[in-house]
Amino acid sequence: MKANFFQGKFIVFEGLDGSGQTTQAHLLTKWFMEKRNQFAYYTKEPTDGPVGALLKLVLSKRLFCAASNGNAAPRRLDETSMALFFAADRADHLHNEVIPKLKEGVHVIADRYYLSSLAYQSVDTADYQWIKEINRNIIRPDLTIFLDVPPGICVKRMKTQRWHVELYEDLDNLERVRKNFLLAIEKSKTEGEQIEIIDGHQPPKDVHKAVVQAVKNFLRLVIAAEKNQHQKTDQQPTQQQLALLMETEPLSEPEIAAIQLG
Ligand code: TMP
pLDDT tens per residue across span 142-154: 999 999 999 999 9
For residue range 212-221, what is the model confidence (pLDDT) as tens digits? 999 999 999 9
Domain, as residue range, for 76: 10-257
State the closest ligand 1 atom to the C-alpha of 166, by its place in the atom list counted from 1: 10
Question: Residue 21 CA: which ligand 1 atom is closest?
Answer: 4
Task: Give CA separation, 65 vs 14, 60, 68, 81, in Å.
Answer: 29, 14, 9, 12
Residue 45 Cβ < 6 Å to ligand 1: yes
pLDDT in tens, 173-231: 999 999 999 999 999 999 999 999 999 999 999 999 999 999 999 999 999 888 777 66
DSSP state for residue 139 in the 8-state scheme: B
Distance (angstroms) between ligand 1 centre and the Cα of 45 equals 7
Q: Is residue 131 part of a domain?
A: yes
17 assigned to some structural domain:
yes
Please give the tally of structural domains in the chain. Answer: 1
Does 224 fall in a domain?
yes
For the Cβ of 13 lying below 6 angstroms from any atom of ligand 1, the answer is no
> What CATH number does residue 41 fall under?
3.40.50.300
Whether 232 is covered by a domain: the verdict is yes
C-alpha 109/C-alpha 32 separation (Å) is 10
**Residue 1 included in any domain:** no
CB 97 near ligand 1, within 6 Å: no
Whole-number Å distance, alpha carbon 158 to ligand 1 midpoint, is 14
Check if 112 has its Cβ closer than 6 Å to any atom of ligand 1.
yes
Residues of the chain with pLDDT under 50: none
Question: Is residue 4 included in any domain, yes or no?
Answer: no
Q: Which atom of ligand 1 is nearest to the CA of 111?
A: 4
| pLDDT attached to residue 260 | 62
262 in a structural domain: no
Q: Is the residue at 5 inside a domain?
A: no
